[in-house]
Copies of this chain bind each other. A is one copy, B any other.
Amino acid sequence: MTQFDNVSVTKQANVYFDGKCVSHSIVLEDGTKKSVGVILPSTLLFTTGAPEVMELLAGACRVRLAGSEEWTEYTGGQSFQVPGDSSFDIETTETLHYVCHFG
């Protein structure tokens, strides 16, 4: 499935870290909120409110969750989970295309 159907999409993008991360918010028919976005090559620290599942469509990165000393590599086709009210370091080595699932 390369697209979401029957969704609402916010016209204005979310731009984080001087544009290193750009996403658009979408709402599915059932009210579920997600975002679709890109992270350009960089090393960034993201914080979470709600728990997140980051579904990687393409690209490559290493991720270190808060409280962990271990970096784990992920590439397109893989996902990783982040607890709520937490954070993660992400080193993007190849432009990352993702869908972020909340809750």
Interface residue? A32 (CB, 8 A): no
How many copies of this chain?
2
- Distance, CA A99 to CA B12, complexed state (A): 8
Count how many chain A residues have C-beta atoms less than 8 Å from C-beta atoms of the other chain. Answer: 29
Report whether A36 and B22 are in contact in the complex, using a CB–CB cutoff of 8 Å.
no
Q: Which stretch in A2-10, A46-54, A64-72, A80-88 binds the other chain?
A: A2-10
* A-B contacts besides A11-B36, A12-B57, A13-B36, 18 pairs, CB < 8 Å: A1-B11, A2-B12, A3-B10, A3-B11, A4-B11, A7-B7, A9-B9, A9-B24, A11-B99, A13-B22, A15-B95, A18-B40, A19-B19, A19-B40, A19-B95, A22-B38, A24-B24, A24-B36
